[in-house]
Chains A and B, each alone.
Chain A
């Protein structure tokens, strides 16, 4: 029924002279997500508007679904695009449109005209009034409400054509990918970290990821699960480069050398150190974690501080003040939840003390880590040298 979509974007509009950078990034990402969709699409920028036009037959539902995964889009409006052939032709197009969309429904409406083409023979109020009157006459079930209409019928008189639309399908919001550099996500198989990656990516950040694999304590299936999760997140963030780090030896060394109630904190400090090294090597400007205050012993405020102690790069923790239910809601929305709850990796608990410290002191942790001095640097280097890189798309 529609061959075109008008794309509304929010914050980009206010970015001054950089605006074209943001718009270009948005268009590039739209092309990427529409590529696998059935149909041929033309994306055009015109005076602060972006249009997607489909040529011939295309998959309407999939097109909408794909565009709904493009950060930066706040609304997708299925639109009727017409050349200006005089007011009578416009009126006829509007009536056709109303018949197709709202035949026999009891609703209120309002006509909202924007006259970008200042040469149009009628003024905006004149168009509103004339079209509103004709609609009222033709549709006995519709009535006018200028304050809170059910249907806001937009008529946009542009310099080259006219837009007619009334439906705005919400987009994800946020900023176009690639407008805010790249960051390294610490991805586990859990519920939180994929959500954290999604949320930061939504602000225009490209995401790479690192997963700490500990065979035989974590299985190949657990690794596959992380790859699958990255795949789900990549639907929003574009391709993800997943670094798989073998962490077993480091884990066992820490176990052998350090107090057991500090195992988790020290382990996490090494995960951060390795992630940071990877980030620096691959041009990432920050780390992303799924930490949330108080969720587990290693995420109390003192624990977070102790973990953060080893980081020089900024660490983004978008879920820091989220309750679990809120995280789960996002996980369900982006379709990672079902994968996250698969039970493949409870074996790592071997390296978790029954009663881990909840108020670690940074000084003490640093002292405990001295026991690792002899070998740890070589082990970290070895872990980085033997990383496996998986391109997830």
Chain B
């Protein structure tokens, strides 16, 4: 599977990693939905770190579509709350 970290690049991961990535992501979402900033940076960092550690960086001239797109690494807790719950990044 291909995973993109927005603003950073694309990674190729084994399809078997899908569940683990899902878990890590759900942990981030739970924190954002709880509305408490504590632990957000760690949880989001863990998700990004996992993709970087277990993925193989795609070459720049590789043209692939990503299955998963993770927000940029400098996403703040406030942005996560505002952009990824409720109204969303782009108003519908």
A and B found bound together? no
Name A's B-contacting residues (CB within 8 A). Answer: none
Measured CB to CB, the residues of B under 8 A from A are none
